[in-house]
Amino acid sequence: MNTEQTHASDAHLIVKLGGHTPFVFDLPEGRDLVLGASPDADCTVTGEKYLSRRHVMLRRAGGVVSVERLATASNPVVFKGVPADRFRMTAGEYFVVGATTFHLEASLEATARPADEQERQPHQQFTLGAHELRVSHDPTDRLRLLDLMKLPEVLRTHSRTEFFIYACGALRLATGARWVQVLRSEGDEVTVLCEDVGVDQLIARPHSRALVRAALTEAPNPVTYCWRHAAGGDLAATAHEGIDWAVCCAMSVPGEPPTAMYLAGAGPAGMDAVAMPAGLRDTARLVGLVADTIGRAIAMRKLEDWQSKLGHFFSGKLVSKILEAEDAEPLMPRIRPATIMFFDIRGFSLMTEGRLERILDHQDDLRRVLTAMTGCIFEYDGVVIRYMGDGILACWNVPYDLANHAERACLASLDMIEQLGRVAPGWTCGIALGVGDVVAGSLGSEQVYSYDVLGPVVNQTARVEGITKAVGEPILVTEEVARAVSPERVLCRRVARFLPVGMDTELDLFTIERTPADTAAKESVLQRHALHAEALAAFEQGDWQRAFDLLHPIVKEDAAARYVYTLALRRDPPRDWHGVVEMTTK
């Protein structure tokens, strides 16, 4: 009874573009096929801008597909990380053009392969326990561990694929394996990510699916299979001649599908399979150490990359809290109430106007200012969403709930005004604060991580920041912010009611200042605020003469009072006056 399944007549080229598989092409035996973007090509692929009309020639012979880049191709074909004009690939391998990958379906692993459920059973198998991994028996362990110590540095200086290839090569040379592969398991599909081979490249290199499953189950402990020599002197293991042992060890990489190291080899001539486990334990131990080192190195690299990305937006305290979370759910886009800040340096454009060299001349000053401003924001647990030339967009109450977030933003704003005077004397700024619901979270692209906020309150606050220029006050906040702060820490005073450019909603805008500790000083501020409120009521009711008279004593010391005073200079309001200052510029 024939227990084998033949796959030679069932070969496919799988096209993967942007996480999808839009095309699958049959590869008949012995036929030349042209792959390209032209409708006349044998294998027509659309959607890839770097694919020429006639890009490559494909020809299948048994378990190998020859690939040749045609003279009509404008862009390179990348195989195993490097451009190649001619190469041969086997099952599990792929080449890349632009952003599209072309995978050779795994059914070509062998022209005749046992069905998975009928896979040849190992004569012996063993799983190395965690307590055995670091027991030293081999005098070459010291040298092997020195090679292991290089792995994190290789990961830092090379791509992930190059890193895996380096690890495969080191393991093959250290163990004498015929080949070493890095496998990725997704569902029932096992993909060869890369490999290092010490035998003829044309032979198929199957892996035992049962062994891979066992290694995934026993992770992180390595599992070893040994197969007995077949009758007649031929070796048979995993349906491949010349292999009588294999070791597989799965490694844990957070946030990624299971990945495993797989080694296959043959024992010395005449070695009986019964004796083989004793010699393979050191090999299995080394594989386990390498897999553990790789998993830890990749996890650490991912953590460092993630920490670096988060550090652009969050304070060190918030970064630690995010990294300690069990998942990335707090960073997923969601609707949250938040306090929004827009900060802008006054006059920087004028300071650097006319010549690009002037911008360069002031870069050190600008960096020093933005660093100081960011420090104030982080001090009160704010998040820097982005830098906008000489400005900052910041937010509070994301990604975690933050008590008194509007008040924290106010205190940060007041600190920023004081810091600016210290680090850049003579420079001035405008700061606006608003409160409202936003969509906050990771809103960047696949290539670039970006934490962002979107919503009407963001646009509204940007308009308010522009009004600070007209009023002459460094900080203006909306009524929602003013209602949320404690008068024990921050005193708020309504300036006027405004209609910002491009908006249909009128806004009551307020100034803020620290509540004086001295009772007499606090009383003086409150009296000034009360006088402004009385004058503002008259101004909004159309009695501009009374507003002018009330404000006259305080205009020299109070920018907000001076703004209303200036509007009331004409003494008589326009005929269509309804108590709202309509802005004509941003």
Q: What is the pLDDT of residues 335-348, one digit of tens each?
A: 999 999 999 998 76
CATH class given for the domain over 119-305 = alpha beta
Contact by Cβ (8 Å): 475, 511: yes
Least confident stretch, 142-156, 340-354, 481-495? 142-156
Task: Quote the DSSP letter at residue 450.
Answer: -
pTM, to two decimals: 0.53
Contact partners, residue 231, CB within 8 Å, separation at least 6:
none
Task: Quote the DSSP letter at residue 576.
Answer: T
CA 380 to chain centre: 25
Look up residue 328 and give its two tokens. 């990335």
**Phi and psi for 370 in degrees, rounded to 5?**
-65, -35
Q: Is the pLDDT of residue 4 over 60?
A: no
pLDDT value at residue 385 = 87
Contact by Cβ (8 Å): 512, 410: yes
Indicate the average pLDDT of the chain.
80
pLDDT value at residue 204 = 61
Count Cα atoms within 13 angstroms, Cβ side, for 81. Answer: 12
pLDDT value at residue 18 = 67
Q: What is the pLDDT of residues 58-111, one digit of tens each?
A: 998 877 899 999 999 988 898 887 788 999 988 878 888 988 888 887 543 333
Domain residue ranges of the chain, discontinuous segments joined by +: 4-109, 119-305, 312-325+334-515
Count Cα atoms within 13 angstroms, Cβ side, for 8. Answer: 12
Domain 312-325+334-515 of CATH type 3.30.70.1230: yes
CATH number of the structural domain 4-109: 2.60.200.20
CA distance 382 to 379: 7
pLDDT value at residue 361 = 65
Contact by Cβ (8 Å): 184, 191: yes
| Domains 119-305 and 312-325+334-515 in one fold | no
Q: Is the pLDDT of residue 231 over 50?
A: no
Residue 331: in which H helix or E strand, if any?
none
Judged on CB neighbours under 10 Å (0-12, 13-18, 19+), 329 is exposed
- Return the residue matching tokens 């409708």: 39
pLDDT value at residue 311 = 63
Q: Is the pLDDT of residue 147 over 70?
A: no
pLDDT value at residue 297 = 72
